[in-house]
Amino acid sequence: MAENLKGNDKVFSRRIDNFFIGLERAFQFVKKFFVEVWIPPYEFKEVIRQCYRIGYNSLPLISLTGFIVGIVFTNQSRPSLSEFGATSWLPSLISIAVVRAMGPLVTALIAAGKVGSSIGAEIGSMKVTEQIDAMEVSATNPFKFLVVTRVLASTFMIPILVLYTDFVALMGAFLNVNVNEMVSISTFFVQVFDSISFLDISSSMIKSLVFGFTIGMVGCYKGYNSTKGTEGVGKAANSAVVMAMFLIFIEELLSLQITNFFRQL
Amino acid sequence: MKDTVIQIKNLSKSFGDMDVLKDVNLDLYSGENLVVLGKSGSGKSVLIKIMVGLLKQDSGSAIVVGQEVSQLNQKKLNELRLKIGFSFQASALYDSMTVRENLEFPLVRNVKNLSKKDKDKLVEEVLEGVGLIQAINQMPSELSGGQRKRIGIARTLILKPDIMLYDEPTAGLDPITCMDINNLINQVNEEYKTTSIIITHDLTCAKVTGDRMAVLLDGHFGNTGKFEEVFEHAVDGRVKSFYDYNFIEQ
């Protein structure tokens, strides 16, 4: 019994050790990014290629999801507002919800699934098939070529995708409002723009940058540190998604607190 | 007396509790083809990875072209790496790039002021050298194992290295393709005047390509010398069984 407890203690302390070792490794990885990003040569061509992959290739999925979110959210909100005879407030309600929270969050979660897993799997498979070693022995910096480019592309593209999702979701909402309340597009968008402030848009863009950075960084970190062959690649892709989503929710919570603080000033 | 290009002195490396290399000593002389033989997991690949700074030894030294690899800063290490071509066991071609892009990758990043015309000429020359000019626009996934090996070697040759390190060049290939790769190694040695280390457990490859053999047994170099000296008159039972096994297999 006592030995069993000792064994459990050992396992527990090893887990704690591993957690802090992992944290330190992740910190060093992020630190390396901030050092390498300023040092030439710059891989502009690869950044643009990654922007295309992350941004353009995500458009169909983002369009569909954003549009559906707009329609569903409008439909779900209508009964509550109609109880108070306030359905005319639908455009304002939807615009605030979409711009402040749903647009960035939905886009980031979809990108974490699509982009994060693909980065994790790609870099992970490059690691286990020695392609990263091959870059290193040919006197090229693999970190700069693989990590810096993908993190930059993801950081730049997620805010653009968020703007696009906001627009598509609002179009979905407009379609719903137009069919049910006979509201014209100009009336709808006048209400939308009246309801949202500069703080809403700027906070949404800033947190989207953070989400994009997180998705790229987590995908690259998990891929770059993958081991154990093909099994490791699968694990890297999977944990990249899980970790990115978890961090996105925490960042959303923090950004809400910070934005509320500024709103009260 | 020929110059020593690589000098390994009392080098040890372990992974966890497993001692892979124990006090290894080895000299590689200019212009020679040294074959390092040994069982899978005997530390052959670890040894050449230490030579290019992909791994660090626990103790001892690996001196390549007069420089201790583990002491070099990143800039110096990169300069040294430009003198070394490393052919990986699984070729390590970049999956997302065409053959042309694979070859251009080290070129554009290490040779400054190269015009597009010169770049194309170099790529085509090297591909012609390995007999695969027709594959220039293909993706690595469209190539056979032997073709991938050739392209992998071509990618290292594009920077005209002085030293070539081949990690299991014939692993997983049929006997005819193995022979093609062996001939390519000899051709590279002749044309580029390289000094090479060939890691293998294929005795045919060793016999055809090597000037000198070194057998890695239990973390040490047991026997070194010409093929006949090491294998055909082997006294050590482990070396003898290595030879017998290859002989029976073929």
Tell whether B155 is within 8 A of chain A (Cβ): yes
Degrees (nearest 5) of the Cα angle A7, A9, A15? 105
pLDDT in tens, chain A (265 residues): 566 666 778 888 888 988 899 999 999 999 999 999 999 889 999 999 999 999 999 999 999 999 999 999 999 999 999 999 899 999 999 999 999 999 999 999 999 999 999 999 999 999 999 999 999 999 999 999 999 999 999 999 999 999 999 999 999 999 999 999 999 999 999 999 999 999 999 999 999 999 999 999 999 999 999 887 888 899 999 999 999 999 999 999 999 999 999 988 8
For residue B15, name the pLDDT band (cuts at 50, 70, 90): very high
Per DSSP, the three-state class of B69 is helix
d(CA A51, CA A135): 22
Q: Select the more confidently predicted residue: A56 or B113.
A: A56
Residue of B nearest to A137 (CA): B81
A129/chain B closest Cα distance in angstroms: 6
Q: Provide the pLDDT for residue A214.
A: 98
Task: For residue range B65-90, list pLDDT tens digits in order.
Answer: 999 999 999 999 999 999 999 999 99
State mean pLDDT over B104-116: 91
Are B189 and B196 in contact by the 8 Å Cβ rule? The answer is: yes
For residue B250, name the pLDDT band (cuts at 50, 70, 90): very low
Are A245 and A117 in contact by the 8 Å Cβ rule? The answer is: no
Tell whether A265 is within 8 A of chain B (Cβ): no
Q: Is the pLDDT of residue B1 over 60?
A: no
DSSP-derived pairing of the beta strands B84-87 and B67-68: unpaired
For residue B222, name the pLDDT band (cuts at 50, 70, 90): confident
Nearest to B163 by CA among B30, B11, B3: B30
ipTM of the complex: 0.91
Q: Do A129 and B86 touch (CB under 8 A)?
A: no
What pTM did the predictor assign?
0.89
Tell whether B96 is within 8 A of chain A (Cβ): yes
B248/chain A closest Cα distance in angstroms: 31
d(CA B38, CA B41): 8
For residue B112, name the pLDDT band (cuts at 50, 70, 90): confident
**Pick from A133, A134, A137: CB nearest B84:** A137
Per DSSP, the three-state class of B184 is helix
Q: Provide the pLDDT for residue A3.
A: 65
Which chain A positions have a beta carbon within 8 Å of B82's beta carbon? 139
> Positive or negative, the Cα torsion across A18, A22, A23, A25?
positive
Which chain A positions have a beta carbon within 8 Å of B155's beta carbon? 134, 138
Q: Do A131 and B92 touch (CB under 8 A)?
A: yes
Per DSSP, the three-state class of B215 is strand
Q: Is the pLDDT of residue B247 over 60?
A: no
Are B214 and B37 in contact by the 8 Å Cβ rule? The answer is: yes
B103/chain A closest Cα distance in angstroms: 11
Q: Is the pLDDT of residue B13 over 80?
A: yes
Residue of B nearest to A133 (CA): B54
Which chain B positions have a beta carbon within 8 Å of A131's beta carbon? 92-95
Q: Provide the pLDDT for residue B221.
A: 87
Tell whether A137 is within 8 A of chain B (Cβ): yes
Amino acid at B181: I
Which DSSP state fits B50?
H
Which chain A positions have a beta carbon within 8 Å of B172's beta carbon? none
Per DSSP, the three-state class of B143 is coil
Are B137 and B99 in contact by the 8 Å Cβ rule? The answer is: yes
